[in-house]
């Protein structure tokens, strides 16, 4: 088995883990990120509502509210530097009943307690002027700072930039045991032994498992499943803002949000689960989402739904954000309890993790060679004819459309695989360049992307997977080479 030596081991390559890695790579520090999955992006980080929150409705005077409020303004520069799609579209919280309308002053007061001072009251008429589809609105609140981001590329872009600055990534790497010897952690994994001076636990759904390995057993984690519908961009919705329901004591309800790519999401459900791999969708969950969307936007037509997905949020007991270091386990940092707001909070959580590592003895000498920017893969679909022609002149593979629904070219798929960390399966390609995310959901490109992966990865077609081992697409050839069809 291999052996890896590093100063800082980050366990978990979701939004928080890669943000920590990128923060650390600003310094002359050896950093290694390990994740049990075969790609960066974690569980919750790749299957959420893609909203960058303001924290207007968070519980005041909590670590979560403080972190989210401070993190939101950082996204403009972060997404500009790393070429991540990001839109400040704003949100409208919609009251559809008298009881919900009466709750609006209390929600505005909470926003002010969280130092979010730009929330505005909307009359029914003004709400419908902003979004004509809100025909059932009695009143509402406008929250200008609520925004949308590509959550896949948020993680991938930070990981690529971290790798560009020397961070090493180990995927398909399950952490099995952690022992402390003198000033070093000796970590046993499925890929070999890892030795590190510091360990950052950003393992999300398995955060309790990792902490238990070093004797910290004062909390547990269970998954909360959220199911979503994806609506085709051709649907006659016209919604430009995030549409939020008035939350109840039991749930925040079903939201409807545009995406940075022109379609819409509706969801999520909130189902307490035991199985940490329960990613399946259910008929009951899908029906619940449609009912919730119909309350906000009565004209919503579910026939425009093109697919569904489910994500798992890590629910900590006791609850709340916990960013901790431990005198009895020096050098171990735990980042737990970070749930649906984790995408938003990740830049500030990373800076807090850096501060705790410094306090634990990590030397942080600035790296004069640090590269703060990353160039994204040009999206052929978003370019004009002149720009497209220039790309084809440079690389003829831009002239070969692989995914018709999203106008994704062979050149884009090749880059998605060849970057570090690169795509290793169909879902990895999908998350990076959207091949298979359109109306036909891979009906056209589903036979072509595996051939590109097979060629670039140097593996037989039978070993190309949808999402890691156990999800192989093909069993084998149906006839020998040269046989007649």
pLDDT for residue 250: 60
How many CB atoms are closer than 10 A to CB 275?
11
- Does 212 participate in catalysis according to the annotation? no
pLDDT for residue 480: 67
Instruction: Report residues of the chain scoring pLDDT below 70.
Output: 42, 249-250, 480-485
pLDDT for residue 307: 94
Evaluate whether 453 touches 464 at the Cβ level (below 8 Å).
Answer: yes
pLDDT for residue 338: 93
401 Cβ contact partners less than 8 Å away, ≥ 6 residues apart: 380, 407, 408, 409
pLDDT for residue 252: 79
Among 279, 291, 356, smallest CA distance to 322 is for: 356
347 Cβ contact partners less than 8 Å away, ≥ 6 residues apart: 19, 71, 74, 75, 78
Per-residue pLDDT of 38-79, as tens digits, reads 999 967 777 789 999 999 999 999 999 999 999 999 999 999
Evaluate whether 145 touches 86 at the Cβ level (below 8 Å).
Answer: no
pTM over 0.85: yes
CA separation (Å) from 230 to 35, 157, 267, 268, 345? 27, 23, 9, 11, 24
Residue-range domains of the chain with CATH: 1-84+148-219+318-376 (3.50.50.60), 91-144+222-309 (3.30.9.10), 380-463 (1.10.10)
The residues facing 3 across adjacent strands are 193
β-pairing, 271-272 vs 168-170, is unpaired
CA separation (Å) from 210 to 3, 219, 330, 398? 20, 11, 15, 44
What is the torsional sign of CA 279, 284, 288, 291?
positive
Tokens of 53: 């929150």
pLDDT for residue 456: 97
The residues facing 134 across adjacent strands are none
pLDDT for residue 285: 93
Evaluate whether 264 touches 224 at the Cβ level (below 8 Å).
Answer: no
Per-residue pLDDT of 320-329, as tens digits, reads 999 999 999 9
Residue 222's SS3 state is strand
């Amino acid at each position: 088995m291999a052996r890896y030596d590093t100063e800082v081991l980050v366990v978990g390559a979701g939004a928080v883990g890669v943000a920590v890695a990128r923060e650390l790579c600003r310094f002359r520090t050896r950093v290694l990120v390990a994740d049990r999955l075969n790609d960066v992006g974690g569980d919750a980080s790749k299957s959420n509502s893609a909203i960058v929150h303001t924290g207007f409705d968070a519980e005041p005077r909590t670590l979560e509210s403080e972190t989210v409020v401070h993190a939101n303004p950082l996204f403009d520069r972060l997404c500009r530097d790393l070429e991540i799609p990001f839109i400040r579209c704003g949100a409208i919280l919609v009251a559809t009943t008298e009881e919900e309308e009466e709750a609006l002053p209390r929600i505005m007061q909470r926003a002010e307690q969280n130092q979010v001072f730009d929330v505005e009251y909307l009359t029914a008429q003004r709400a419908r002027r902003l979004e004509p589809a809100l025909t059932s609105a009695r009143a509402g609140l406008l929250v200008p700072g609520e925004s949308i981001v590509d959550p896949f590329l948020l993680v991938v872009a930070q990981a690529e930039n971290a790798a560009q600055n020397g961070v090493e990534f180990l995927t398909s790497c399950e952490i099995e045991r952690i022992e402390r010897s003198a000033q070093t952690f000796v970590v046993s994994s499925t890929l070999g032994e890892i030795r590190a001076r510091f360990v950052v636990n950003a393992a999300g759904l398995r955060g309790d498992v990792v902490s238990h390995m070093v004797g910290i057993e004062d909390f547990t984690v269970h998954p909360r499943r959220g199911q979503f519908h994806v609506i085709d961009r051709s649907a006659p919705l016209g919604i430009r803002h995030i549409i939020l329901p008035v939350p109840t004591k039991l749930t925040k309800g079903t939201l409807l949000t545009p995406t940075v790519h022109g379609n819409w999401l509706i969801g999520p459900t909130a189902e307490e689960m035991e199985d940490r791999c329960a990613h399946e969708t259910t008929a009951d969950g899908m029906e619940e989402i449609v009912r919730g969307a119909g309350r906000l936007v009565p004209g919503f037509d579910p026939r425009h739904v093109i697919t569904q997905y489910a994500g798992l949020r890590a629910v900590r007991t006791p609850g709340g954000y916990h960013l901790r270091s431990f005198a009895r386990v020096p050098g171990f940092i735990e980042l737990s309890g970070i749930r649906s707001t984790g995408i938003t909070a990740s830049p500030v959580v990373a800076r807090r993790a850096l501060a705790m590592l410094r306090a634990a003895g990590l030397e942080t000498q600035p790296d004069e060679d640090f590269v703060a920017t990353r160039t994204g893969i040009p999206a052929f679909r978003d370019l004009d004819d002149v720009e497209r022609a220039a790309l084809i002149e440079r690389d003829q593979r831009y002239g070969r459309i692989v995914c018709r629904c999203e106008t994704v070219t062979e050149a884009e798929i090749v880059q998605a695989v060849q970057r570090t960390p690169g795509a290793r399966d169909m879902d990895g390609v999908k998350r990076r360049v959207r091949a298979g995310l359109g109306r036909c959901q891979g009906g056209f490109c589903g036979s072509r992307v595996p051939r590109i992966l097979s060629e670039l990865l140097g593996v037989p077609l039978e070993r190309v997977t949808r999402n890691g081992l156990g999800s192989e697409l093909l069993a084998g050839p149906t006839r020998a080479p040269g046989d007649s069809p």
